[in-house]
Structure 1
């Protein structure tokens, strides 16, 4: 049994991939902990609920909700460090770890103290932590669930230390035995970019039938006669395809209901309201996020899932998001933009969904019209989605993940044994600094 630490930069409930990773590794007999950050009371409560019945643990490295003087001081200090790091980079192009995320040094110190046999990172700030741990002979792994240096809109990238992030990614891609990606398209692109072995592909799928009720109860929908479209993300905002959806509405030939789910900042809620076409104001609903165990059933209420990723941002083009697999799991027909990652999935299950060009208003309207006007074809697509979900379920992905983790741990163990032989020298002979 190995001791495995998974580092995330936020709440557990907003990290479904690390949760499934922990489930798989713990089921294989390993001692697993996820460590992250707490920012919000509601999400912290969801984190606690998630841990019920789990054989692994969660630890908040930093609790930004703290009410004690010491906690408030720590929160103030970390936010000040992040602000100073941003200002320093803007003025001098010098990049500090706090530029990548809150609590970088606290995360590193926790990982060193925990002394895991394998430490796995999932975030930008985690890249730096993993690099530091490698330099002190810890065994680390990386999950490129996002290709961080190739993400975000151009307006945001201008303030990011892209060259430094690429250097961190390249080092980990070349040297980590445990190196994962969410699609073959991304694995190939990373290998080509960094002259490394391709990361192991682990799809963001979910266990068969997880949290799906035997009989639907409707919470979102008010009129079951109207076909219902569902779109969700952690955040409702620009660059996620909603602009295309709103522009497509005047071209629809039948009434549909549209349900958006996610955290929607006030400024973007105002933008949405201002851009909803005439006659559609009463047909669009915005729902808050729900706890993980409730989400599959809420998605299953609907008929068509929208995965309108952009192909202009490389990370979005290459990945396969959670939403696509959750639509399939819940039995929704899918309309997805033809990004490289989504093509990778839907070309094998073409009956379950339509692929359309990114940002193509008319193509989106045509796909919606086709299913709304042919309900028998929509029913076939929904059944095909269920079958596709079973073929791609997490049960097919978990063994690959566990195998790669155990290879990484075994490889490090063997290198330490070899280093201990007379006449051999290695950095691994030195104890990690705590």
Structure 2
């Protein structure tokens, strides 16, 4: 049994991939701890509910919920980090996320046999641990240095992130990512062997079959943690006026007051009463809520590159819930449709008319819609389920873990630096 530490950048309940990783490794007999950050009281309650029946533990390395004395200091530190970078090009760990130094201190104290990082701040922590001789793993849930919209790129230390990514890719034994397209792109960019692909799929669940609805009340569904610009909703609102019938549109996610104003301006004339906003729900309730709909929309964009290459949670959760899927033709989503073409339609990125045509094709052909739903359920059961993917994750972890106690006298293999040159950063950094 090994001691495994998983570092995340926020609440446990908003991190389904590390949850599944922890469940799988704990079920295999390892002692697993997940460490993250607490800042939202409602999400803390969800964390506590989620952890009641888990075989692993969660530790908040930083807790700055409202009312905590640490809250002001944490925010001041983050603001100072942004100012230093903006004015002087000085990149510090606090620029990468809340609690970076706390994570490092926790990991050093915990002394796990394998520490797995999942966030931008985790990249820096992982690099420090590698230099101190720890076994480190990295999960590229996103391609961190290629996961920002153009407006945000000037405010982030992209070159530093790239250097951190390169270091971990070359020296970590456990390296995961979310699609074959992502793995191949990362491998080409950094001249390394491709990371192991573990799809963002979910355990199989038994759901009641939803009622068969007529086209007048068919339900389109889109969800994300956040409802706002840059997430594909612009394409949906561009498509709605092209439909020859009204359908229900159900959006689920957190929508700030600023984004509510943005949303109100996006919804086409005549559609306001047909667009419904729902709050986020706990993870165990989400499949039930998704299954109340008919067609799932995965409208990812090709910029930033990470969005093009990955396959997000939503697509696989649509399959799990038995929804037909309409997805934009990104590299990652194309990869899924190549393996399960009958689940719905791929449409060109940015083509509202094509999206409207795909919606009408399913809405106006009940038999075709039901066949796509059946294909989605079959794909989730036969290929895209955690029961399939967890075997790959376990094999990767076993390869990366230190020798068993019987082999402790064997010398550990030395890390051999990659001969490829990494261009030094023009920014100054504080380690």
State if a TM-score over 0.5 links the two structures: yes
Matched, 1:393 2:389: no
| Secondary structure in structure 1 of the residue aligned to 2:402 | helix
Mapped to 2, the partners of 1:16 and 1:105 lie a distance apart of 24
- 1:34 aligns with 34
Deviations 1:326-382 (A, max 9, x none): 000000000000100000011111110200111111110000011111111000000
Residue pairs, 1:33-432, within 5 angstroms: 33-65=33-65, 67=67, 71-72=68-69, 74-209=70-205, 212-214=206-208, 226-391=217-382, 392-410=384-402, 417-419=409-411
| Secondary structure in structure 1 of the residue aligned to 2:217 | coil
| 1:415, distance to aligned residue in structure 2 (A) | 9.5
CA contact (8 A) 2:215 2:364 kept: no
CA contact (8 A) 1:254 1:372 kept: no
Deviations 1:84-128 (A, max 9, x none): 111011111110000000111111101111110000000000000
- With the length of structure 2 as denominator, give the TM-score of the two structures: 0.92
| Secondary structure in structure 2 of the residue aligned to 1:402 | helix
Cα distance change of structure 1 residues 425 and 364 upon mapping to structure 2, 3 Å threshold: closer
CA contact (8 A) 1:8 1:123 kept: yes
- 1:9 aligns with 9
Mapped to 2, the partners of 1:291 and 1:339 lie a distance apart of 28
| 1:389, distance to aligned residue in structure 2 (A) | 0.6
Mapped to 2, the partners of 1:393 and 1:426 lie a distance apart of 35
| Secondary structure in structure 2 of the residue aligned to 1:17 | helix
The unaligned stretches of length 5 or more in structure 1 are 428-434
| Secondary structure in structure 1 of the residue aligned to 2:339 | coil
Which deviates more, 252-261 or 160-169?
252-261
| 1:66, distance to aligned residue in structure 2 (A) | 6.1
| 1:410, distance to aligned residue in structure 2 (A) | 3.2
| Secondary structure in structure 1 of the residue aligned to 2:273 | helix
Mapped to 1, the partners of 2:210 and 2:238 lie a distance apart of 31
Mapped to 2, the partners of 1:301 and 1:54 lie a distance apart of 28
| 1:78, distance to aligned residue in structure 2 (A) | 2.0
What number of residue pairs does the alignment pair up? 415
- With the length of structure 1 as denominator, give the TM-score of the two structures: 0.92
Cα distance change of structure 1 residues 415 and 89 upon mapping to structure 2, 3 Å threshold: farther
Mapped to 1, the partners of 2:198 and 2:405 lie a distance apart of 24
Mapped to 2, the partners of 1:425 and 1:326 lie a distance apart of 42
- 1:432 aligns with none
| Secondary structure in structure 1 of the residue aligned to 2:173 | coil
CA contact (8 A) 1:6 1:33 kept: yes
Mapped to 1, the partners of 2:201 and 2:346 lie a distance apart of 19
Deviations 1:273-311 (A, max 9, x none): 122111111000011100101000000000000000001
| 1:197, distance to aligned residue in structure 2 (A) | 1.3
- 2:423 aligns with none
Mapped to 1, the partners of 2:262 and 2:380 lie a distance apart of 35
Cα distance change of structure 1 residues 339 and 411 upon mapping to structure 2, 3 Å threshold: farther
CA contact (8 A) 1:139 1:412 kept: no
Mapped to 1, the partners of 2:131 and 2:150 lie a distance apart of 32
| Secondary structure in structure 1 of the residue aligned to 2:262 | helix
CA contact (8 A) 2:117 2:138 kept: yes
CA contact (8 A) 2:38 2:44 kept: yes
CA contact (8 A) 2:231 2:301 kept: yes
| Secondary structure in structure 2 of the residue aligned to 1:335 | strand
Mapped to 2, the partners of 1:53 and 1:425 lie a distance apart of 40
RMSD: 2.1
Mapped to 2, the partners of 1:89 and 1:145 lie a distance apart of 25
